[in-house]
Chains A and B, each alone.
Chain A
Amino acid sequence: MGKPRLVVATIILTVFLITSYASTFVYVPATLRANTTAPVVRLWEPLHEQVKAYLGDNLTSIISEVNLTSTPQLLDNNEFNGSLDSWTCGGNESLRCIWLPSDTGAIGGAVQITGSVVTRAPGLYSKSVEQIFMVPENISGPLVGIRYAFPEAPRVEVNSSDIIIVALFNWTGSYWNTLDAVGTRIYQTSSYNTIYLSLNATLKPGEIYLLLVGYGNLVGSGGYTRGNVDFRVDSVSLSYASTILSFGGEVLRINTTIPAYMTILVTGYTDNQSGLYGRLYFFNGTTIVLVAIIENGTITYTTSYFLRVDPTGDQYNASARLWLEANTTRVTGDFTIFGVIEYTNGAYYVFYPFEIRVHP
Chain B
Amino acid sequence: MARATALAVITVVLLGLAVAVALAGVISITRISTSVAYTGLPIRVEPGRIAGSPDLNGTIDVQIGPNLSVSITVHPTYQLTAYPGLVNVTNIGNTTHNYSIIVVHPYTGPPGAAAYLAEFNASNGTLVIRANLSQAGVYGPYPIEPGETVELSLVTYYPEGEPLQEVNATFSIAVGKSQEVPPESLGG
**A residues near B, CB below 8 A?**
22-40, 56-58, 60-61, 63, 261, 265, 267, 306, 338, 340, 342, 344-353, 355
Report the Cα distance A265→B8, complex, angstroms: 13
Report the Cα distance A58→B160, complex, angstroms: 6
B29→A58 contact, CB < 8 A: no
B13 is an interface residue with CB less than 8 A from chain A:
yes
Report the Cα distance A35→B87, complex, angstroms: 18
B166→A33 contact, CB < 8 A: yes
Which 7 pairs show the lowest CB-CB distances between chains A and B? A347-B53, A346-B27, A25-B176, A37-B57, A353-B5, A30-B70, A61-B2
What are the residues of chain A within 8 A of B160 when measuring CB–CB? 56-58, 60-61
**Nearest-CB residue, chain A, relative to B65:** A29
A29→B172 contact, CB < 8 A: yes
**B77 touches which of A60, A261, A265 (Cβ 8 Å):** A60
B56→A26 contact, CB < 8 A: no
Report the Cα distance A265→B9, complex, angstroms: 10
Q: List 20 A-B contacts (CB under 8 A).
A: A23-B182, A25-B174, A26-B40, A26-B43, A27-B182, A27-B187, A31-B169, A32-B171, A33-B74, A34-B167, A35-B74, A36-B77, A56-B78, A57-B160, A61-B2, A61-B160, A63-B1, A344-B23, A346-B50, A350-B76
For window 83-122 of B, CB contacts with A under 8 Å fall at 83-84, 87, 89, 102, 109, 115
B161 is an interface residue with CB less than 8 A from chain A:
yes
**Nearest-CB residue, chain A, relative to B69:** A29
Tell me the minimal C-beta distance from B119 to chain A in angstroms. 13
A347→B60 contact, CB < 8 A: yes
**Nearest-CB residue, chain B, relative to A60:** B78
**B53 touches which of A28, A39, A346, A350 (Cβ 8 Å):** A346
B69→A30 contact, CB < 8 A: yes
Given A26-B175, A351-B82, A355-B1, check contact A33 B43 (CB 8 Å): no
**Nearest-CB residue, chain B, relative to A354:** B5
A39→B172 contact, CB < 8 A: no
**B164 touches which of A26, A27, A37 (Cβ 8 Å):** A37
A32→B168 contact, CB < 8 A: yes
What are the residues of chain B within 8 A of A344 when measuring CB–CB? 20, 23
What are the residues of chain A within 8 A of B79 when measuring CB–CB? 60-61, 350-353
A32→B154 contact, CB < 8 A: yes
Given A347-B54, A352-B79, A353-B6, check contact A30 B166 (CB 8 Å): no
B171-188 Cβ-contact flags toward A at 8 Å (1 or 0): 111111110101000111
B166→A34 contact, CB < 8 A: yes
Tell me the minimal C-beta distance from A355 to chain B in angstroms. 6
Report the Cα distance A61→B87, complex, angstroms: 30
A348→B70 contact, CB < 8 A: no
**B residues near A, CB below 8 A?**
1-2, 5-6, 8-9, 12-13, 17, 20, 23-27, 29, 38, 40-41, 43, 45, 50, 53-58, 60, 68-84, 87, 89, 102, 109, 115, 133, 154, 156, 158, 160-161, 164-178, 180, 182, 186-188
Given A306-B23, A347-B50, A351-B9, check contact A32 B77 (CB 8 Å): no
Report the Cα distance A39→B164, complex, angstroms: 11
What are the residues of chain B within 8 A of A353 when measuring CB–CB? 1-2, 5-6, 9, 79
What are the residues of chain B within 8 A of A267 when measuring CB–CB? 5, 8-9, 12
**Nearest-CB residue, chain A, relative to B61:** A33
What are the residues of chain B within 8 A of A340 when measuring CB–CB? 5, 9, 80
Having A26-B175, A39-B56, A348-B81, one finds 12 other A-B pairs with CB under 8 Å, namely A22-B178, A24-B177, A26-B38, A27-B182, A27-B187, A32-B115, A34-B75, A58-B161, A338-B5, A347-B53, A350-B79, A351-B79
**A350 touches which of B12, B41, B81, B177 (Cβ 8 Å):** B81
**Nearest-CB residue, chain A, relative to B102:** A27
What are the residues of chain B within 8 A of A36 when measuring CB–CB? 75-78, 158, 164-167
Tell me the minimal C-beta distance from B162 to chain A in angstroms. 9
**Nearest-CB residue, chain A, relative to B43:** A26
Report the Cα distance A26→B73, complex, angstroms: 23
Of A61, A346, A355, chain B has the most CB atoms within 10 Å of the CB of A346
What are the residues of chain B within 8 A of A348 when measuring CB–CB? 50, 53, 55-56, 60, 74, 76, 81-83
Tell me the minimal C-beta distance from A306 to chain B in angstroms. 6
**Nearest-CB residue, chain B, relative to A55:** B160
**Nearest-CB residue, chain A, relative to B52:** A347
B56→A37 contact, CB < 8 A: yes
**Nearest-CB residue, chain A, relative to B158:** A36
A31→B9 contact, CB < 8 A: no
What are the residues of chain B within 8 A of A26 when measuring CB–CB? 38, 40-41, 43, 68, 174-176
**Nearest-CB residue, chain B, relative to A19:** B180
Report the Cα distance A351→B11, complex, angstroms: 12
B83→A23 contact, CB < 8 A: no
What are the residues of chain B within 8 A of A63 when measuring CB–CB? 1
Tell me the minimal C-beta distance from A352 to chain B in angstroms. 5
B180→A23 contact, CB < 8 A: yes
What are the residues of chain B within 8 A of A25 when measuring CB–CB? 174-176, 182, 186
